[in-house]
Structure 1
Amino acid sequence: MESVANEGKAAAIWAYLTIIGTIIAYFLNNDSKNPFASFHIRQGLGIHITFYLLGMIVSWFNSWLISAPFYIFIVVLVGYGLIGAIQGERNEVPILGKQFQKWFSTIN
Protein backbone atom coordinates (compact mmCIF):
# COMPACT_ATOMS: atom_id res chain seq x y z
CA MET A 1 0.00 0.00 0.00
CA GLU A 2 2.86 2.37 0.79
CA SER A 3 4.43 1.80 -2.62
CA VAL A 4 1.12 2.79 -4.29
CA ALA A 5 1.16 6.04 -2.33
CA ASN A 6 4.79 6.73 -3.20
CA GLU A 7 4.18 6.11 -6.90
CA GLY A 8 1.20 8.48 -6.99
CA LYS A 9 2.55 11.11 -4.63
CA ALA A 10 3.72 13.57 -7.31
CA ALA A 11 0.33 13.60 -9.04
CA ALA A 12 -1.44 13.80 -5.67
CA ILE A 13 0.54 16.89 -4.68
CA TRP A 14 0.01 18.54 -8.08
CA ALA A 15 -3.76 18.09 -7.65
CA TYR A 16 -3.92 20.76 -4.96
CA LEU A 17 -1.75 23.38 -6.68
CA THR A 18 -4.36 25.37 -8.65
CA ILE A 19 -6.88 24.06 -11.14
CA ILE A 20 -4.10 23.78 -13.74
CA GLY A 21 -2.22 21.54 -11.30
CA THR A 22 -5.30 19.34 -11.03
CA ILE A 23 -5.42 19.01 -14.80
CA ILE A 24 -1.69 18.19 -14.90
CA ALA A 25 -2.19 15.58 -12.15
CA TYR A 26 -5.06 14.03 -14.10
CA PHE A 27 -2.88 13.57 -17.18
CA LEU A 28 0.08 12.37 -15.10
CA ASN A 29 -2.18 9.69 -13.65
CA ASN A 30 -3.95 8.88 -16.90
CA ASP A 31 -1.69 5.95 -17.84
CA SER A 32 -0.95 4.39 -14.45
CA LYS A 33 -4.40 4.91 -12.86
CA ASN A 34 -2.81 5.03 -9.39
CA PRO A 35 -5.65 4.85 -6.79
CA PHE A 36 -3.80 7.13 -4.35
CA ALA A 37 -3.34 9.82 -6.99
CA SER A 38 -6.94 9.41 -8.19
CA PHE A 39 -8.23 9.92 -4.65
CA HIS A 40 -6.34 13.21 -4.30
CA ILE A 41 -7.23 14.36 -7.81
CA ARG A 42 -10.92 13.98 -6.92
CA GLN A 43 -10.37 15.89 -3.67
CA GLY A 44 -8.37 18.65 -5.40
CA LEU A 45 -10.88 19.01 -8.22
CA GLY A 46 -13.71 19.30 -5.71
CA ILE A 47 -11.90 21.97 -3.74
CA HIS A 48 -11.18 24.01 -6.86
CA ILE A 49 -14.74 23.76 -8.15
CA THR A 50 -16.03 24.72 -4.69
CA PHE A 51 -13.67 27.71 -4.71
CA TYR A 52 -15.04 28.98 -8.02
CA LEU A 53 -18.71 28.35 -7.24
CA LEU A 54 -18.63 29.81 -3.73
CA GLY A 55 -16.34 32.57 -4.97
CA MET A 56 -19.04 33.75 -7.36
CA ILE A 57 -21.51 33.99 -4.49
CA VAL A 58 -19.03 35.65 -2.13
CA SER A 59 -18.11 38.20 -4.81
CA TRP A 60 -21.66 39.59 -4.71
CA PHE A 61 -20.93 40.90 -1.24
CA ASN A 62 -18.39 43.66 -1.04
CA SER A 63 -17.28 42.85 2.48
CA TRP A 64 -14.06 41.48 3.90
CA LEU A 65 -16.16 40.01 6.75
CA ILE A 66 -17.56 37.56 4.21
CA SER A 67 -14.49 37.21 1.97
CA ALA A 68 -11.97 36.49 4.74
CA PRO A 69 -13.75 33.41 6.17
CA PHE A 70 -14.27 32.11 2.62
CA TYR A 71 -10.56 32.30 1.83
CA ILE A 72 -9.63 30.81 5.20
CA PHE A 73 -12.03 27.91 4.52
CA ILE A 74 -10.45 27.22 1.12
CA VAL A 75 -6.89 27.52 2.46
CA VAL A 76 -7.72 25.04 5.25
CA LEU A 77 -9.18 22.55 2.77
CA VAL A 78 -6.20 22.83 0.42
CA GLY A 79 -3.73 22.63 3.30
CA TYR A 80 -5.43 19.58 4.79
CA GLY A 81 -5.48 17.77 1.45
CA LEU A 82 -1.93 18.77 0.54
CA ILE A 83 -0.51 17.63 3.88
CA GLY A 84 -2.32 14.31 3.48
CA ALA A 85 -0.87 13.87 -0.01
CA ILE A 86 2.64 14.67 1.18
CA GLN A 87 2.32 12.21 4.09
CA GLY A 88 0.92 9.47 1.85
CA GLU A 89 -2.50 9.40 3.54
CA ARG A 90 -6.00 9.25 2.10
CA ASN A 91 -7.87 11.64 4.36
CA GLU A 92 -11.00 13.19 2.92
CA VAL A 93 -11.14 16.94 3.34
CA PRO A 94 -13.56 18.15 6.02
CA ILE A 95 -17.23 18.74 5.20
CA LEU A 96 -17.23 17.93 1.46
CA GLY A 97 -14.62 15.18 1.02
CA LYS A 98 -17.07 12.26 0.85
CA GLN A 99 -19.19 14.14 -1.69
CA PHE A 100 -16.15 14.83 -3.86
CA GLN A 101 -15.37 11.11 -3.93
CA LYS A 102 -18.94 10.32 -5.03
CA TRP A 103 -19.33 13.17 -7.52
CA PHE A 104 -16.03 12.54 -9.28
CA SER A 105 -16.02 8.75 -9.01
CA THR A 106 -15.38 8.45 -12.76
CA ILE A 107 -11.85 9.80 -12.22
CA ASN A 108 -9.64 6.76 -11.67
Structure 2
Amino acid sequence: MTDQTIQEGKTLAIVSYFTLIGTLIAFFMNNEKRNQFTAFHTRQALGLWLLEMILGFVVSGFDNWMITYSFWIFIAVLFLYAIFGAITGKLYSVPLLGDFFQKLFKNIGQ
Protein backbone atom coordinates (compact mmCIF):
# COMPACT_ATOMS: atom_id res chain seq x y z
CA MET A 1 0.00 0.00 0.00
CA THR A 2 1.45 3.35 -1.01
CA ASP A 3 1.74 6.47 1.12
CA GLN A 4 -0.63 8.27 -1.25
CA THR A 5 -3.32 5.61 -0.70
CA ILE A 6 -2.90 5.94 3.06
CA GLN A 7 -3.06 9.75 2.98
CA GLU A 8 -6.19 9.72 0.78
CA GLY A 9 -7.98 7.27 3.06
CA LYS A 10 -6.82 8.50 6.44
CA THR A 11 -9.70 10.91 7.09
CA LEU A 12 -12.41 8.36 6.38
CA ALA A 13 -10.51 5.74 8.36
CA ILE A 14 -10.56 8.00 11.42
CA VAL A 15 -14.22 8.93 10.88
CA SER A 16 -15.18 5.25 10.81
CA TYR A 17 -14.36 4.88 14.51
CA PHE A 18 -16.60 7.73 15.69
CA THR A 19 -20.02 6.18 16.26
CA LEU A 20 -21.69 3.54 14.16
CA ILE A 21 -22.99 6.31 11.91
CA GLY A 22 -19.38 7.32 11.22
CA THR A 23 -18.68 3.75 10.14
CA LEU A 24 -21.62 3.86 7.75
CA ILE A 25 -20.51 7.24 6.38
CA ALA A 26 -16.99 5.91 5.77
CA PHE A 27 -18.40 2.79 4.12
CA PHE A 28 -20.66 4.65 1.69
CA MET A 29 -18.10 7.36 0.88
CA ASN A 30 -15.47 4.70 0.21
CA ASN A 31 -17.70 2.82 -2.26
CA GLU A 32 -16.67 5.10 -5.12
CA LYS A 33 -12.90 5.29 -4.51
CA ARG A 34 -12.33 1.80 -3.05
CA ASN A 35 -9.42 2.89 -0.85
CA GLN A 36 -7.93 -0.21 0.81
CA PHE A 37 -6.72 1.71 3.88
CA THR A 38 -10.22 3.05 4.55
CA ALA A 39 -11.76 -0.36 3.87
CA PHE A 40 -9.42 -2.02 6.40
CA HIS A 41 -10.32 0.45 9.14
CA THR A 42 -14.02 0.38 8.25
CA ARG A 43 -14.02 -3.40 8.74
CA GLN A 44 -12.22 -3.00 12.08
CA ALA A 45 -14.62 -0.28 13.23
CA LEU A 46 -17.72 -2.22 12.22
CA GLY A 47 -16.45 -5.25 14.12
CA LEU A 48 -15.70 -3.16 17.20
CA TRP A 49 -19.11 -1.50 17.18
CA LEU A 50 -20.93 -4.82 16.80
CA LEU A 51 -18.77 -6.35 19.54
CA GLU A 52 -19.56 -3.42 21.82
CA MET A 53 -23.30 -3.80 21.26
CA ILE A 54 -23.40 -7.56 21.70
CA LEU A 55 -21.11 -7.69 24.74
CA GLY A 56 -22.78 -4.60 26.20
CA PHE A 57 -26.12 -6.38 26.07
CA VAL A 58 -24.67 -9.43 27.82
CA VAL A 59 -22.74 -7.41 30.43
CA SER A 60 -25.77 -5.28 31.27
CA GLY A 61 -27.51 -8.39 32.60
CA PHE A 62 -24.92 -8.89 35.35
CA ASP A 63 -25.74 -5.67 37.24
CA ASN A 64 -22.23 -5.56 38.70
CA TRP A 65 -20.15 -2.39 38.52
CA MET A 66 -16.82 -4.27 38.38
CA ILE A 67 -17.88 -6.25 35.32
CA THR A 68 -19.33 -3.15 33.69
CA TYR A 69 -16.21 -1.03 34.24
CA SER A 70 -13.97 -3.85 33.05
CA PHE A 71 -16.05 -4.13 29.89
CA TRP A 72 -15.88 -0.40 29.16
CA ILE A 73 -12.13 -0.28 29.79
CA PHE A 74 -11.64 -3.27 27.46
CA ILE A 75 -13.70 -1.65 24.68
CA ALA A 76 -12.01 1.75 25.17
CA VAL A 77 -8.53 0.21 24.88
CA LEU A 78 -9.48 -1.61 21.68
CA PHE A 79 -10.93 1.56 20.15
CA LEU A 80 -7.92 3.67 21.16
CA TYR A 81 -5.55 1.10 19.68
CA ALA A 82 -7.49 1.07 16.41
CA ILE A 83 -7.82 4.87 16.21
CA PHE A 84 -4.09 5.24 16.87
CA GLY A 85 -3.43 2.94 13.92
CA ALA A 86 -5.67 5.03 11.67
CA ILE A 87 -4.07 8.30 12.75
CA THR A 88 -0.52 7.04 12.24
CA GLY A 89 -1.36 5.42 8.90
CA LYS A 90 -0.73 1.83 9.99
CA LEU A 91 -2.77 -1.30 9.40
CA TYR A 92 -2.94 -2.40 13.03
CA SER A 93 -5.46 -5.18 13.57
CA VAL A 94 -7.33 -5.04 16.84
CA PRO A 95 -5.78 -7.53 19.29
CA LEU A 96 -7.54 -10.88 19.58
CA LEU A 97 -10.34 -10.15 17.10
CA GLY A 98 -8.92 -7.98 14.32
CA ASP A 99 -8.14 -10.83 11.94
CA PHE A 100 -11.59 -12.29 12.57
CA PHE A 101 -13.19 -8.95 11.70
CA GLN A 102 -11.18 -8.78 8.47
CA LYS A 103 -12.36 -12.25 7.43
CA LEU A 104 -15.96 -11.73 8.54
CA PHE A 105 -16.37 -8.44 6.66
CA LYS A 106 -14.04 -9.21 3.74
CA ASN A 107 -16.60 -7.99 1.18
CA ILE A 108 -16.52 -4.44 2.56
CA GLY A 109 -14.41 -2.22 0.35
CA GLN A 110 -13.77 -4.70 -2.42
| Match runs of 1:68-87 below 5 Å | 68-87=69-88
Consecutive unaligned residues of structure 2, counting only runs of 5 or more, are none
- 1:3-36 deviation line (CA, Å, top 9, x unaligned): 1000001110011101011001111111001000
Partner of 1:96: 97
Partner of 2:48: 47
Deviation at 1:56, TM superposition (A): 0.6
Which residue identity lines up with residue 16 of structure 2 in the other structure? A
| Match runs of 1:1-108 below 5 Å | 1-108=2-109
In 2, Cα distance between equivalents of 1:14 and 1:27:
12
- TM (norm. structure 2) is 0.96
Consecutive unaligned residues of structure 1, counting only runs of 5 or more, are none
Q: State the aligned residue count.
A: 108
What's the secondary structure of 2:17's corresponding residue?
coil
Could you list the runs of 4 or more consecutive aligned residues of structure 1 that deviate by over 2 angstroms after TM superposition?
Answer: none
The alignment's C-alpha RMSD in Å is 0.5
- TM (norm. structure 1) is 0.98
In 1, Cα distance between equivalents of 2:82 and 2:29:
18
